[in-house]
């Protein structure tokens, strides 16, 4: 049926005629008349950041309520479903650590009738690799190979294909004058280093036991903590009580633990040997913890002149609920990122009441950003539309604490003319702003930029409540957020209406400015936990502090995805930066920096926080199964001088 011609149709035709002769990115009419309601914005934030929705943690009930709320808003404003199978949702799985299924955990020794029980007599370590193993048992001392200290438990011993029984810690670790760390444990005492060396020597698994001279009245098993289960070392690893280890040694006709410990502490010769006739079978009982997550995606169709699209996105997840000090704490994440999600919802409302733009707009809210941009990465790797149609992405993350002196715009160097455009639009609104001096890459726009899409990211700044339970809706500056939304609307309207889409500008790759200092504190806690008697592990009373700029720059984008393989995967190497100049390549896995073993991205950040610009550091990477040693001269945060 033919539709009557309305003023809106006439205005659309005039706009199309104007754009046909206008240069790229010249403002079309219609952007200046849109206003935003602080009250409506605040209502969205209050709902999303309510205790009822429990901090929107992936895998928790509250985030599912938030997803339905967002989808209902998309539907109510006429957006077409743009997720999977005609829905508003794009589903994906998150591998998040491991679960201990105790009914599946089993530890047996061939020929022994002992019925050792998980948790009572033995327990898998939380950073153990998955899998069941069996093999001949051997004693491997402390599992240390330290050429610098002339101490090598593997000297003259072949560990290939064997399960290694080894002691925790390091020789004479209670002696302040010890050759190793003494009262300050060295890296040789860490589980991660013992696992890496054992794997390099060809071992199949590790059995850890507390040495008898360390807290002799206590023999506690390391707690299976979900916090440490997020990483996996190279091998299956369990810990046994001393009486279990004594039974294994006795069966092989070996001296007891006290004798072996004394000999190892007083001498430096290897005592490692096969435990003849002892074969073990271990079912760790560990299974990957898989969380179901959903992005929410709706399409506002364009006017039909082109099939191109722009993206307006925000992550809607946060840290959820955590058990701390015998009570459940809710991290509501009002600014991070109910503020940005509410901004997307208000922009949906605004655009849906205007004539269709030249380009269609994909409105997206991503899950699992806090776990490493997993939702946005999943979309760009598995787009629900032809990705080549996407010409621009605007990300809204933490826009709820507006102050004129703290408003920043990132991404102006990712597209031709973006810096001038930001100046023009901010000028129209009398907004004071600063251009981000480098690509702030720890949010979802980074996933799009890595695919060659120009991006922009308005940001109202960090604050003391970042990643703390106190990030509540009462602290949101809703009036200030509407000013940010005015800028965001004009920017996205410009991108949607321009005759030609923005031109991608190569500037190296997006850089994640990671919270190095906070990571260092976390790594220190983990190392301390490894080198102290086992005790119940609880998350820190306060989550990591707000990120602050790192002192040094390597010039890589680390992967934040979880993996069973130890080390930190280098997702990409920035051209002309220290890593590239030293020969590092995309896909390398950093396993050691200086004398620090690197098990994951947190340990990488902790290690890097110890250096200063100009320091030369040896970095060991694993590349296609081989170790490669690189010498890198670190730059300052602004890059090489």
What pLDDT is stored for residue 548 in this prediction?
39
- Residue 276, SS3 per DSSP: strand
Q: How far apart (Å, rounded) are the C-alpha atoms in residues 43 and 4?
A: 37
Which residues lie below 8 Å from residue 532, measured CB to CB, with a gap of 6+?
A: none
Summarised one tens digit per residue, pLDDT across range 283-335 is 999 999 999 999 999 999 999 999 999 999 999 999 999 988 789 999 999 99
Q: How many CA atoms lie within 13 A of 374 on its CB side?
A: 21
Q: How far apart (Å, rounded) are the C-alpha atoms in residues 187 and 476?
A: 44
Q: How far apart (Å, rounded) are the C-alpha atoms in residues 355 and 21?
A: 20
Q: H or E stretch including 524?
A: helix 516-530
Summarised one tens digit per residue, pLDDT across range 433-479 is 998 765 555 799 999 999 999 999 999 988 889 999 999 999 999 99
What pLDDT is stored for residue 462 in this prediction?
86
pTM value > 0.75: no
Flag residues of the chain having pLDDT under 50: 1-29, 508-549, 639-641
Q: How many CA atoms lie within 13 A of 99 on its CB side?
A: 10
b/e burial code for range 89-124 (CB count within 10 A of at least 16 → b): bbebebbbbbebeeeebbbbbeeeeeebebeebbbb
- DSSP string for residues in 309-349: EEEEEEE----EEEEETTEEEEE--IIIIIHHHHHHHHHHH
Summarised one tens digit per residue, pLDDT across range 214-230 is 888 889 999 998 778 88
Q: How far apart (Å, rounded) are the C-alpha atoms in residues 452 and 442?
A: 17
What pLDDT is stored for residue 149 in this prediction?
84
The closest of 591, 625, 566, 534 to 234, measured between CA atoms, is 566
Q: How far apart (Å, rounded) are the C-alpha atoms in residues 82 and 295?
A: 10
Beta strands in 79-131 (DSSP E): 80-81, 89-100, 106-109, 122-124
Which residues lie below 8 Å from residue 317, measured CB to CB, with a gap of 6+?
A: 56, 57, 58, 63, 293, 337, 366, 367, 368, 369, 370, 371, 375
Question: Which domains occur in the chain, in start order?
Answer: 7-97+289-497 (3.40.630.10), 102-284 (3.50.30.30), 549-641 (2.30.42.10)
């Amino acid at each position: 049926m033919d539709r009557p011609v309305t003023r809106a149709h006439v205005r659309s035709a005039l706009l199309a005629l104007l754009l046909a002769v206008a240069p790229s990115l010249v403002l079309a009419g219609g952007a200046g008349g849109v206003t935003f309601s602080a009250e409506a914005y605040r209502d969205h934030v209050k709902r999303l950041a309510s205790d009822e929705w429990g901090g929107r943690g992936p895998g928790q009930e509250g985030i599912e309520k938030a997803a339905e709320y967002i989808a209902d808003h998309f539907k109510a404003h006429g957006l077409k479903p743009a997720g999977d199978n005609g829905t508003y949702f794009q589903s994906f799985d998150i591998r998040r650590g491991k679960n201990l299924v105790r009914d599946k955990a089993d530890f047996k020794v061939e020929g022994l009738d002992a019925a050792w029980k998980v948790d009572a007599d033995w327990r898998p370590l939380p950073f153990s690799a998955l899998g069941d193993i069996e093999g001949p048992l051997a004693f491997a001392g402390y599992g240390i190979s330290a050429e610098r200290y002339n101490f090598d438990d593997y000297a003259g011993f072949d560990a290939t294909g064997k399960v290694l029984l080894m002691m925790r810690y390091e020789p004479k670790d209670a002696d302040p004058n010890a050759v190793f760390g003494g009262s300050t444990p060295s890296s040789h005492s860490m589980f991660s280093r013992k696992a890496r060396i054992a794997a390099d020597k060809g071992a199949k698994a590790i059995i850890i036991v507390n040495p008898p001279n360390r807290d002799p009245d206590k023999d506690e098993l390391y707690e299976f903590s979900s916090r440490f289960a997020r990483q996996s070392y190279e091998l299956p690893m369990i810990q046994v009580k001393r009486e279990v280890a004594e039974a294994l040694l006795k069966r092989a006709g070996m001296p007891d633990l006290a004798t072996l410990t004394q000999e190892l502490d007083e001498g430096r010769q290897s005592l490692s040997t096969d435990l003849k006739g002892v074969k073990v079978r271990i079912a760790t009982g560990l299974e990957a913890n898989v969380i179901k997550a959903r992005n929410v995606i709706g399409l506002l169709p364009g006017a039909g002149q082109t099939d191109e699209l722009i993206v307006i996105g925000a992550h809607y997840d946060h840290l959820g609920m955590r058990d701390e000090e015998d009570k459940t704490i809710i991290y509501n994440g009002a600014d991070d990122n109910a503020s940005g999600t509410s901004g997307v919802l208000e922009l949906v409302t605004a655009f849906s009441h205007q004539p269709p733009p030249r380009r269609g707009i994909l409105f997206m809210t991503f899950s699992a950003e806090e776990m490493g941009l997993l939702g946005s990465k999943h979309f760009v790797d598995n787009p629900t539309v032809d990705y080549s149609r996407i010409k621009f992405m605007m990300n809204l993350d933490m826009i709820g604490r507006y102050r004129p002196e703290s408003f920043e715009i990132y991404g102006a160097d990712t597209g031709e003319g973006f810096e001038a455009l930001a100046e023009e639009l901010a000028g129209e609104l009398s907004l004071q702003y600063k251009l981000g001096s480098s690509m702030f890459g720890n949010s979802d726009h980074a996933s799009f930029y890595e695919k060659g899409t120009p991006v922009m990211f308005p940001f109202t700044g960090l604050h003391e409540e970042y990643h703390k339970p106190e990030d509540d809706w009462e602290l949101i500056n809703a009036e200030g957020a509407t000013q940010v939304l005015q800028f965001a609307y004009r920017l996205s309207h410009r991108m949607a209406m321009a005759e030609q889409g923005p031109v991608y500008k190569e500037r190296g790759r997006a850089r994640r400015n990671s919270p190095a200092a906070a990571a260092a504190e976390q790594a220190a806690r983990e190392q301390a936990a490894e080198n102290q008697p086992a005790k119940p592990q609880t998350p820190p009373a306060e989550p990591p502090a707000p990120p602050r700029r790192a002192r040094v720059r390597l010039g890589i984008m680390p992967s934040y995805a979880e993996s069973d393989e130890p080390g930190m995967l280098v997702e990409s190497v920035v051209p002309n930066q220290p890593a590239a100049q030293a020969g590092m390549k995309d896909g390398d896995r950093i396993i050691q920096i200086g004398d620090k073993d690197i098990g994951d991205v947190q340990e990488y950040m902790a290690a890097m926080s110890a250096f200063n610009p100009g320091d030369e550091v040896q970095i060991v990477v694993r590349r296609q199964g081989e170790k490669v040693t690189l010498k890198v001269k670190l730059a300052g945060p602004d890059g090489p001088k």
